[in-house]
Amino acid sequence: MAAAGAFAEAGADLELVGIHKRFPGFTAIESLDLTIPAGSFFALLGPSGCGKTTTLRLVAGLEQPTSGRILIGGKDVTDVKPFRRPVNTVFQSYALFPHMTVLENVAFGLRRRRIADPSGKAHEALQLVELDHLAQRKPQQLSGGQQQRVALARAIVNRPALLLLDEPLGALDLKLRRQMQLELKTIQQEVGLTFLHVTHDQEEAMTMADTVAVMNKGEIEQMGSPEELYELPRTVFVANFLGQSNLFTGEVRGDSGEVVVVDVAGVGVAVPKARAQRHRGRVTIGIRPEKLLLHPAAPEPAAGVNVLGPGRVVDVSFSGVSTQYTVAIPGIGDVIVFAQNMVFGPVVNAGAEVWVSWGVEHGFGLADEGPEGDERFADDTSTGSLARQTREELLEELGEA
Amino acid sequence: MRRLSLGKWLLPLYVALAVVFLVTPIVQVIIYSFNDSRRNNTIWGGWTLDKWLNVCDQQGVCEAFGTSVAVGVVATLIATVLGTLLAIALGRYRFRGRGSTSLLLFLPMATPEVVLGAGLAAQFLAVGMPKGFWTIVIVHALFCLSFVVVTVKARVASLDPALEEAGRDLYGSGPQVFFRVTLPLLTPGIVAAALLSFALSFDDFIITKFNAGQVTTFPLWIYTKKTPPAEANVIASAIFVLAIVAVVVVQVAAAARRKRLGITR
Give the model confidence (pLDDT) of A248-277 as tens digits: 988 898 888 889 999 888 888 999 999 998
| pLDDT tops 70 at residue A22 | yes
pLDDT band at A287 (very low <50, low <70, confident <90, very high): very high
Query: What value of ipTM does the predicted structure carry?
Result: 0.76
| pLDDT tops 70 at residue A378 | no
Are the Cβ atoms of B173 and A154 closer than 8 angstroms? no
Q: Which of B160, B163, B261 sits opposite A138 (nearest CB)?
A: B261
The pLDDT value given to residue A145: 86
Set of chain A residues whose Cβ sits within 8 Å of the Cβ of B169: 60-62, 82-83, 87-89
The DSSP 8-state label assigned to residue B131 in this structure reads P
pLDDT tens column, A111-151: 999 999 999 999 999 988 889 999 999 999 998 889 988 99
Distances (CA, A) of B164 to A61, A161, A273, B170: 13, 22, 53, 10
Q: Are A386 and A380 in contact (CB under 8 A)?
A: no
Q: Which of A109, A138, A140 sits opposite B170 (nearest CB)?
A: A109
Q: Which of B163, B171, B262 sits opposite A112 (nearest CB)?
A: B171
- Answering whether pTM is above 0.80, one says no
Q: Please state, in angstroms and rounded to a whole number, the distance separating the CA atoms of residues A284 and A277.
A: 10
Q: How deeply is A45 buried, as exposed, middle or buried, from its count of CB atoms within 10 A (0-12, 13-18, 19+)?
A: buried
- Structural domains of chain B in order of their starting residue, each with its CATH number: 61-215 (1.10.3720.10)
Q: Please state, in angstroms and rounded to a whole number, the distance separating the CA atoms of residues B31 and B39.
A: 17
| pLDDT tops 80 at residue A15 | yes
Q: Which of B165, B170, B261 sits opposite A108 (nearest CB)?
A: B170
Chain A closest-CA separation from residue B257 CA (Å) = 11
The length of chain B is 265
Choose between A199 and A393: higher pLDDT.
A199
| pLDDT tops 70 at residue B45 | yes
The pLDDT value given to residue A59: 93
Q: Kindly compute the dihedral angle of the four CA atoms of residues B174, B176, B177, B180, in this order, to the nearest 10 degrees.
A: 160
Report the pLDDT averaged over residues B102-111.
88
| pLDDT tops 80 at residue B262 | no
pLDDT band at B35 (very low <50, low <70, confident <90, very high): confident
**B173 close contact with A: CB closer than 8 A:** yes
Chain A closest-CA separation from residue B164 CA (Å) = 8
pLDDT band at A99 (very low <50, low <70, confident <90, very high): very high
Q: Please state, in angstroms and rounded to a whole number, the distance separating the CA atoms of residues A60 and A162.
A: 9
Are the Cβ atoms of B171 and A158 closer than 8 angstroms? yes
Q: Are A171 and A149 in contact (CB under 8 A)?
A: no
pLDDT tens column, A180-204: 888 888 888 888 888 999 998 888 8
Set of chain A residues whose Cβ sits within 8 Å of the Cβ of B176: 112
The pLDDT value given to residue A57: 92
| pLDDT tops 50 at residue B34 | yes
Tell me how far the alpha carbon of residue B86 is from its chain's centroid.
Answer: 19
The DSSP 8-state label assigned to residue B59 in this structure reads T
Report the pLDDT averaged over residues B19-47.
85
Helix (H, G, I), strand (E, B) or coil at A280: coil
Distances (CA, A) of A311 to A221, A247, A248, A294, A338: 33, 16, 15, 10, 16
The pLDDT value given to residue A373: 39
**Residue A144's beta-bridge partner residues?**
none
Best B170, B185, B190, B260 member to test A by mutation, with max A CBs in 10 Å, is B170
Choose between B260 and B13: higher pLDDT.
B13
pLDDT band at A372 (very low <50, low <70, confident <90, very high): very low
Residues 6+ apart with CB under 8 A from A247: A236, A239, A240, A284, A285, A286, A366, A390, A393, A394
**B181 close contact with A: CB closer than 8 A:** yes
Query: A–B: how many Cβ contacts below 8 A?
Result: 67
**B262 close contact with A: CB closer than 8 A:** yes
Q: Please state, in angstroms and rounded to a whole number, the distance separating the CA atoms of residues B72 and B78.
A: 10
The pLDDT value given to residue A377: 35
pLDDT band at B196 (very low <50, low <70, confident <90, very high): very high
Q: Are A122 and A157 in contact (CB under 8 A)?
A: yes
Which of A223, A259, A255 lies closest to A242, judged by CA? A223
| pLDDT tops 90 at residue B20 | yes
